[in-house]
Structure 1
Amino acid sequence: MSATAILRLESRKRVRGSVALVVALGLLAAMYFSIFPSFEDEVDDVMEAFPEYFFDIFGIEALHTIEGFIAAEIYSFFWIVLVGIYFAYIGAGLIATDIDERRMDLTLSYPISRESVILQKVAALWVPLVVLNVAVPAVVYVGALAIGESFDPVALAMVHLLSIPYLLVCGAIGLLLSVVAPRVRTARAAAIVLVFVLWLIDGVSRLDDDYEWIGVVTPSRYYDETAILVREEYAYGDAGVLLIVFLVLLAVAVLTFSRRDL
């Protein structure tokens, strides 16, 4: 087994799912861009139809602009929640799948350390990170031009660049569950639920200043897509916090896996 065999194998596995997710997000984007011209005239009625806390939970603002509309319709839920869950789901299967299917014993029979196995599997996340964060902004940018609107290309690039630490944390949450859960189904289910609940806690905690501090433990608190697209505010410090959390979770997962009995 070559030094990068696992990385290459895992990278190939991620291509199909990444492309499928791009297609799904592209279709959603096309639908929302087709809606925006008529929605722009009805935005006041829409905002009056929903309670104020609804906008606070999702961090929605400036719906009358293409930036605020797309931030609300695509990034505030589909990107943060669904793509985050996708990375957590992948992470939850990285180790547990091979253990369940008895492939891990074969892999470790080669002269390769457990640390190398887990690091190569995590490194394969570069595929969905690159595919999604290149293809989706291209679709969004072209879609805006198609309806006579436009995005600041820097802000659009930053909303994706600064999402990478967040997605890595979601993947690391799944990875940690992958090395501690008894079954891959358990790891995946727990990862999905945990990422969703953390996002929900973040949103609900914003409704009351007395409880807002609870959200500091949630990854989504450190990634604000609306601030990036609408206000062009780039929180590099928050991205740094997420990167540190990712490295800590990765280190704990590596240490746990290296000591686990298979």
Structure 2
Amino acid sequence: MTAILRLESRKRVRGSVVLIAVFAVLSALYFSMFPGIQEEMDVFEAAFPEYMFDMFGIEELHTIEGFIAAELYSFFWSLLLAIYFAYVGAGLIASDVQERRMDLTLSNPVSRESVVLQKVAALWVPLVALNVGVPIIVYVGALVIGESFNPVALAMVHLLSIPYLLVCAGIGVVLSVVVDRVRRARSTALTLVFALWLVDSVSRIDPDYEWIGTFTPSRYYEETNILVHEEYAFLDAGLLLAVFLVLIVVATVVFTRRDI
């Protein structure tokens, strides 16, 4: 009953290890930079237009929390990792359909609903690996340079990112059951996630258009508020989880009704 889950989980191990290694390198780079530029951060902030800080939610760069939130989480986590999950989600079904493996899978006593749910459930591997490995790396890195994070805030910035990343994966899953070609599904998914992130960022510049960002998932995950201000938006996380469940239901219904 869980053969697909076990197989898909094994497929995610290598990518998860690579991503942890990438974040380890990035963390080492930024932590090595921080002591040397901390005292000059006021000059750095003055050199950039204020709208840049509004776009990316950058605050208090002179603190380790603000610096890491801006340099590591606001771009690499909120955008690139979101794109990764959308990319993976878009390949879950479409790759098997395109390569004719889905015919073999469905010839076994397994329902289409189970196929979708088991493939989506396999995302637990990168979710757990990254949200356990990266905070440990970040926390230890701060201690090495004589700084420290509030461990609760650091844990929450990762815990509350899970619903956001799941929504991005859910967007990919929907495209995976709608589009036959895996390359097209993946490119559409990553483009859509990037576009939503960009709309959210740009809409923050003008108060008259800020409401547009309420339709983007990244608006409901504020890494700077969590790390710097220790504000935990559990209601926003719950809303994202609800959106993810809706996306999976849509993907499951479409997949059960389509011809393979």
C-alpha distance in structure 1 between counterparts of 2:119 and 2:42, whole Å = 48
Matching residue within 11, 32, 35 for 1:34: 32
Look up the equivalent residue of 2:118 and give its one-letter code.
Answer: Q
Matching residue within 21, 30, 40 for 1:23: 21
Look up the equivalent residue of 1:168 and give its one-letter code.
Answer: L
- Structure 2: tracts of 5 or more residues without a match: none
Matching residue within 207, 226, 229 for 2:227: 229
TM-score normalised to the size of structure 2?
0.99
C-alpha distance in structure 1 between counterparts of 2:220 and 2:246, whole Å = 16
**Structure 1 residue 48: deviation in Å?**
1.2
Q: Which residue is 2:183 aligned to?
A: 185
- Structure 1: tracts of 5 or more residues without a match: none
Please give the residue correspondences for 1:66-77 in structure 2 after superposition, counting only pairs within 5 Å: 66-77=64-75
Any idea what the Cα deviations from partners look like across 1:181-232, whole Å, max 9, x if unmatched?
1200000000111111100000100111111111011000000000000000
Q: Which residue is 2:120 aligned to?
A: 122
Supply the RMSD in Å over aligned alpha carbons. 0.5
Q: Which residue is 2:212 aligned to?
A: 214
Matching residue within 26, 50, 53 for 1:52: 50
Please give the residue correspondences for 1:1-262 in structure 2 after superposition, counting only pairs within 5 Å: 3-262=1-260
Any idea what the Cα deviations from partners look like across 1:42-90, whole Å, max 9, x if unmatched?
1011111111011111100010000000000000000000110110011
**Structure 1 residue 21: deviation in Å?**
0.4
Contact kept in structure 1, 2:55 and 2:204, CA below 8 Å: yes
C-alpha distance in structure 1 between counterparts of 2:46 and 2:208, whole Å = 26
**Secondary structure, counterpart of 1:41 in structure 2:** helix
**Structure 1 residue 255: deviation in Å?**
0.3
C-alpha distance in structure 2 between counterparts of 1:42 and 1:100, whole Å = 54
TM-score normalised to the size of structure 1?
0.99
Contact kept in structure 1, 2:174 and 2:251, CA below 8 Å: yes
C-alpha distance in structure 1 between counterparts of 2:127 and 2:88, whole Å = 12
Contact kept in structure 1, 2:97 and 2:180, CA below 8 Å: no
C-alpha distance in structure 2 between counterparts of 1:238 and 1:248, whole Å = 15
Look up the equivalent residue of 2:197 and give its one-letter code.
Answer: W
